[in-house]
Amino acid sequence: MDWLVKTGNNSDNGDIQKGMTSFLLFIKRVLYKLGIDIRFVKKEEPCSALELNDVDTVNRAWSDEKVSSKFLSKSVLAMYKDILFTLDTLGIELSGKTVIDVGCGNGMLLKYLSDKYSISSQTGMEYAEAALEVAGRLHPAASYIVHDINQPYHMQYDAIFCTEVLEHIRFPVQAFKNLLGMLKDGGMIFITVPNGRTDTFSGHINFWSPESWEVFVRENSEGLKHATGVMGTGLNYAILYK
């Protein structure tokens, strides 16, 4: 019926739209009497991945308790447990180390790490301040800083974690290099990204298969010893040693 709306003057268009609305409501009432309940849903304009990752959009999401609570779901907590299992498998020991989680969200990975290891300091980094407000409530033992990993950061750490972040970033190579610049001699970086063979989330900008992920890490590792693989939960991971 779009062609009807586009013909005639504005007054005619308004009358046609009102008439269609009345007709649809009449049909709804008739069907309801027959035991059929239909609902009209307003169609929302789709957002691009860039819009979904805009800092204002992310802050609004973290400020919504219904959204932020999803990051405490069983599947997310299972991912953190899988990270700890993978660290064990790789023989990683973090006790006495300075640790930062880049893109820390609600701080729960830091909590899991600090519960397992006697780390000397724990820091969470996020570009969305609203996320850090949640993190401060859920895991107040850590220190938190607002910073966008697309920009270099001056501090260095023994262990850097960056889980489920690079897929959201428009220029992941620059972010990757900034992570390398934050690493102390003798330190390690642990990164995860979704498996691009199964990942369909519209908020992701980058998609890596296990094979393309290995190429990405190798080409940007600046000569550091590294390894890649797939965790039990299906996520791609990379570990780099300096």
pLDDT in tens, 208-237: 999 999 999 999 999 999 999 999 999 999
How many whole angstroms separate alpha carbon 158 and alpha carbon 94?
Answer: 8
pLDDT in tens, 84-135: 999 999 999 999 999 999 999 999 999 999 999 999 999 999 999 999 999 9
Those residues whose C-beta lies under 8 Å from the C-beta of residue 199, and which sit 6 or more positions away, are 167, 207
| Residue 42: per-residue pLDDT | 55
Question: 182, 155 in Cβ contact below 8 A?
Answer: yes
Q: Does the pLDDT at position 15 exceed 90?
A: no
pLDDT band, very low/low/confident/very high, at 7 (cuts 50, 70, 90): very low
Mean pLDDT of 62-69: 94
| β-pairing verdict for 157-163 and 183-193 | parallel
Question: 134, 156 in Cβ contact below 8 A?
Answer: no
3-state secondary structure of 240: strand
Q: Does the pLDDT at position 19 exceed 70?
A: no
| Residue 175: per-residue pLDDT | 98
CATH class of 50-241: alpha beta
Backbone angles phi, psi at 207, to 5 degrees: -135, 120
Residue spans per domain, the chain: 7-43, 50-241
How many whole angstroms separate alpha carbon 210 and alpha carbon 214?
Answer: 6
Q: Does the pLDDT at position 40 exceed 60?
A: no
Average pLDDT score over the chain: 89
Structure tokens at 11: 């007054």
Percentage of the chain beyond pLDDT 70 is 81
How many whole angstroms separate alpha carbon 92 and alpha carbon 23?
Answer: 67
pLDDT band, very low/low/confident/very high, at 47 (cuts 50, 70, 90): confident
DSSP state of 43: P
How many whole angstroms separate alpha carbon 150 and alpha carbon 177?
Answer: 9
Q: Does the pLDDT at position 11 exceed 90?
A: no
pLDDT in tens, 140-169: 999 999 999 999 999 999 999 999 999 999
Q: Does the pLDDT at position 17 exceed 80?
A: no
Question: 137, 169 in Cβ contact below 8 A?
Answer: no
Tell me which amino acid residue 166 is: L
Structure tokens at 87: 């660290």
